[in-house]
Structure 1
């Protein structure tokens, strides 16, 4: 019995002493030879020595330059800016344990393996998602761009200037964050590197190859303008806004969309225009001559007219049924490029001459000719006059602002001659209302008789009432012994009607007129 107790006590003592020895050994344990952490040889190092060296190396890695590609663009950053994180800090302890932990058999095998081959323990990293997202939003979004079509413009001497298109690109931020994180976790080796973001590419609608097909004149038309300075400037501004516009196959072009808004900020001036049959001053007066001139060029190019309206009253810068009125929000001139190749609209207005030319690829036979002509179906004369009160003018003021305009019903016909045969086709039918001559009548100090005459549109009665007025003071009404009349000035729309038998495709007149039922038409 005493022998058994003595044996147990010896065993306990041995166990305690062994534990004490092991504890002392762990304090001095060193990493076995043949072990690397990443590219750092930590053989023979203590835990603290190895940890300090690895941490120093990771600090260097944080400064590694990462080139981030955004499509064809790129920007440089650092691993640190991408939120580099060291994930397996236990790797130093893993190096200590290799060959120094576990049962004797395990330790023996691991050391024998180290004698044969160096053991490399990997460093594991990740990129902080928030840091990556911030970098993309703040530094990479600058490379996003809208696609821009290749452009072409007439150089004024019969040639063309071509500009390459720009490919559009948009960053997919969520996919890009994942791509950066995957690169840092699985591919990056701590050196300088390159990562491509996820970018959605949008090709431009056309390229220079498409535009190089634009070589031929498909249709051209000229009208002549010369009125108030404001109207002249509006015509020139309208031509400028449409000039050098490319219309791609299948695309529909809206003239109003190109010209609006009709404001001073958009370069328009005050000029005569018609509202409810009366001449008023408004921004954009005269712009219908722009749409009309373009309309005739489009007809000669034989492009598909989607929308076209005649004026309410006749205009005189083109024959009947050859006009195209526009009114913001209610009337437009639209056409579709029904060709297989793009076209270019060239617009020019200077010195009273307005010309639009349609350029493209000519596919029509050289011996095929087209003409457009107007056929008047009926014509009625306007009856009476229209009188409008001018409250800021004295009694005795009479100013004719619009000549009488006939009511007309007319057609536009297309005539095609090819291989010795001629065919005709109805293009449109237009109806223009008869409009009486319009007068402004001064009503400052007017009598009931004068106001009644204006209401009744009775010019003779208005003139008689004005002659019968006796004014008290010159400052109140301005005394008059005779009726003051003014003939239409050169800055108001003229009303001469055009010839309507046959139309030269390149002909035009130099006067203007127009009207509206409840809307403003910029004649």
Structure 2
């Protein structure tokens, strides 16, 4: 037996006491509470932060180069009003030659759509989740908004119209006069007018420029306006294409014929234009120099102002037909007349009936009427090619003692009849 073997010992390992366990548990709980409390606090603060921006603009927001971060709608509106007021204080100067026309933006009613723009700026991010909202607030990214300037197009139009009226130079039509087989043409003059559409659009562009100058200069342009009746068109009139003369005796009717013929004188009809004998003569009143003379009424000869002017319309009618022009409106007399054959007369009244016809040719037609020495003549002048070389002759055929049918015939250069047109039947009353 080895006496050096150490004696065995039985050590007892002591377990933590209940008190120590409690301390450890308390410590763990305390840490958890601290962490949880901190998290809850942070979360609460974050909610407060996010909620604080529900009625404010998120950070990093600019209107052009103005920082509006954290602004309420009222504060944003105030800033926008200042911006719009600055724009409205600007002016536009339109120069045309040596003339200048100025208008303030305010007078053109410049503004913006406040409600729509403010809602757009304020609503950004409000539809996102909580974490995204928090990120937008704590880690903002720069965003810039720009508004559109609004204005009154009616006010712009008024401004442009005012300018146009002041710079306008109306064109002058060429004119023509025929006297004793002599043709005289007075040249027309070119007019000038503002290019309104161009100026209107240039003003709109200036108003829409947010960063424009305090005084915006715009040059208005004018354009030439040709006269409706040109010298070249009237110079095409070179030939008397028809003529007709009737005769009258001195007296009241003769006086009225001479006055009425003078009222007509030279009348220019461009292609497609119409002639009214009643309008050309005008009211047959004493104020216009007309006197009382014989007229027809209800089968009787009675006195009336302007009596005798129907001889003017009848003379024109015969010259018109010989020019190859068929009337639009023509009425025969109530009773027969002695200065033209039956069926070739044309009566007129103060307003109606009337002798009306339209220039059917591609060239101007000049109606020239004059009276002197007991005769009245109506002439039709135009281009030598107007009638295409056709000569026209009206003929009336009596169908009874007080009735006639009228035709218009056309003849070529060889004298051959190439056209026949029935015009009208005239039926007269006997004198009572």
Does the TM-score normalized on the shorter chain lie above 0.5?
yes
In 1, Cα distance between equivalents of 2:419 and 2:43: 119
Closer/same/farther in 2, CA of residues 187 and 139 from structure 1, 3 Å limit: closer
Mapped pair 1:246 → 2:246: no
Q: What is the Cα deviation at residue 297 of structure 1?
A: 1.5
| 1:123 to 2:147 alignment | yes
Matched, 1:289 2:311: yes
Larger deviation: 212-221 or 252-261? 252-261
TM-score in terms of structure 2 length = 0.58
Counterparts in 2 of 1:139 and 1:271: CA distance versus 1, 3 Å: farther
User: Is 2:378 aligned against 1:356?
Assistant: yes
Greater Rg by CA: 2
Relative distance call for 1:306 and 1:214 in structure 2 (3 A) is same
Query: 1:303 corresponds to which residue?
Result: 325
Deviation at 1:120, TM superposition (A): 4.9
- Report the counterpart of residue 359 of structure 2 in structure 1: 337
Deviations 1:49-101 (A, max 9, x none): 99877654432321444689xxxxx986443233322335649977x99xxx9
Q: 2:111 aligns with which of 79, 85, 102?
A: 85
Question: Secondary structure at 1:61's aligned position in 2?
Answer: helix
Contact 1:233–1:268 at 8 Å: present in 2 too?
yes
Structure 1 distance, partners of 2:386, 2:364, is 15
- Alignment partner, residue 58 of structure 1: 84
Q: Secondary structure at the match of 1:85?
A: coil
Structure 1 residue 223 displacement after superposition: 3.5
Note the C-alpha offset of 1:290. Answer: 1.4
Match of 1:160 among 179, 185, 189: 185
Alignment CA distance shift 1:317-1:245 (3 Å) = same
Distance 1:254 1:189, change over 3 A: same
Q: Is the 8 A contact 2:409 2:417 kept in 1?
A: no
Q: Please give the alpha-carbon distance, in whole angstroms, between the structure 2 residues aligned to 1:165 and 1:294.
A: 34
Instruction: Choose the corresponding residue for 1:218, options 241, 257, 264.
Output: 241
Aligned equivalent of 1:419? 414
* Alpha-carbon spacing, 1:186–1:61, altered in 2? closer, same or farther (3 Å): closer
| Larger relative contact order, structure 1 or 2 (CA cutoff 8 Å, min sep 6) | 1
1:501-516 mapped onto 2 (5 Å cutoff): none
Q: CA deviation at 1:354?
A: 3.2
Structure 1 stretches of 5 or more lacking a match?
69-73, 112-118, 197-202, 380-406, 437-523
Does structure 2 retain, via aligned residues, the 8 Å contact 1:291–1:325? yes
Structure 1, residues 377-432: CA drift from partner, whole Å, max 9, x if none? 887xxxxxxxxxxxxxxxxxxxxxxxxxxx79797886847326578968777666
**Is the aligned partner of 1:110 residue 2:105?**
no
User: Contact between 2:361 and 2:386, CA under 8 Å: does it hold in 1?
Assistant: no
* Structure 2, unpaired ranges of 5+: 1-25, 95-99, 126-131, 221-225
Contact 1:245–1:345 (Cα < 8 Å) also in 2: yes
Q: Which residue of 2 aligns with 1:402?
A: none
Count of matched residue pairs? 365
